[in-house]
Amino acid sequence: MILPLILDPFFYAVAIPAVLLVGISKSGFGTGFGSLAVPLMALAIPVPQAAAILIPVLLLIDLLGLAVFRKNFDYVFLRFLIPCGLVGTLIGALLFKVLDAHVVAGLVGGFTLLFLAQRLLFPPKPDSPPPPRWVGAILTVTSGFTSFVAHAGGPPVSAYVIPLRLSPMQFASTMAFFFFAINLSKWIPYAWLGLLDARNLATSLALLPLVPLGVWVGVRLAKRISAEYFYRILSVGMFLTGSKLLWDAFH
């Protein structure tokens, strides 16, 4: 039996780097680069289909990330983050069919660039307090929402977590556990929406061998790079993500 996977060469030209970026992001560099995966794949296929194809890929990446970072996560912090994120995924599931993809791209991209501008114009001082918990709740709900509709949940939650100044390993571990819970919660709604069909799942299966490579690269970088450069690279990733999503919104 021949699996009915996508055969378009251009799709794989954008899907392969997208999967590698997700692997690097999930296992070593938090959430900056991974949000580019759906926009990259959307150059060849519709956004909902791109999001559906990435669901099994994300599950495998999350499991590998959990195995690597199981000793560094902040359990108390996750008890706050995960429920807020699940509220966002529920909102995304209920509104998915009526949302315009360009509106979502514009919201996520605009917010990301505004956050980076704020960090540049008003950089946090060593004695400045962390963001209020209510701000974190709003940003984390937003993260769950944008994660459901476009796997672009990284920028909102990073806007809350980065100023808390976690160590690179603790940041990567906490984000790995958070997005494992969020991505796992998407399976039933995606199936309910008819997105997990045989063609999309077969295409996901063809992309899965790339996952260990992306995770391996991300883990090595996270363990070797200093905290200063870690967050610089995260900021660059968020800038690229915001710019690409904002571009999609107007084109």
The answer as to whether 3 is a domain residue is: no
The answer as to whether 55 is a domain residue is: yes
**CB distance 221 to 172 below 8 Å:** no
The answer as to whether 4 is a domain residue is: no
The answer as to whether 1 is a domain residue is: no
- pLDDT score for 2: 54
- pLDDT score for 86: 96
Q: Cα angle at 133 between 131 and 134, to 5 degrees?
A: 105
| Global confidence as pTM | 0.76
**DSSP per-residue codes, 171-224:** HHHHHHHHHHHHHHTTHHHHHHTT---HHHHHHHHHHGGGHHHHHHHHHHHHHH
**CB distance 85 to 157 below 8 Å:** yes
Closest CA to 26 of 179, 203, 239: 179
How many domains in the chain? 1
Query: What's the domain range around 103?
Result: 9-250
> Position of tokens 């999967």?
19
- pLDDT score for 184: 93
Cα dihedral across residues 79, 129, 231, 32: positive or negative: positive
- pLDDT score for 47: 77
Burial of 97 (0-12, 13-18, 19+ CB in 10 A): exposed
The answer as to whether 94 is a domain residue is: yes
Per-residue pLDDT of the chain (251 residues; tens, 9 = 90+): 455 788 888 999 989 988 887 877 765 554 556 677 887 787 788 878 888 999 998 888 788 777 777 777 778 889 999 999 999 999 988 888 777 767 766 776 777 787 777 667 766 555 567 778 999 999 999 999 988 887 878 778 887 887 787 777 788 788 888 989 999 999 999 998 888 888 899 999 999 988 888 777 777 776 777 767 766 776 776 787 678 778 877 77
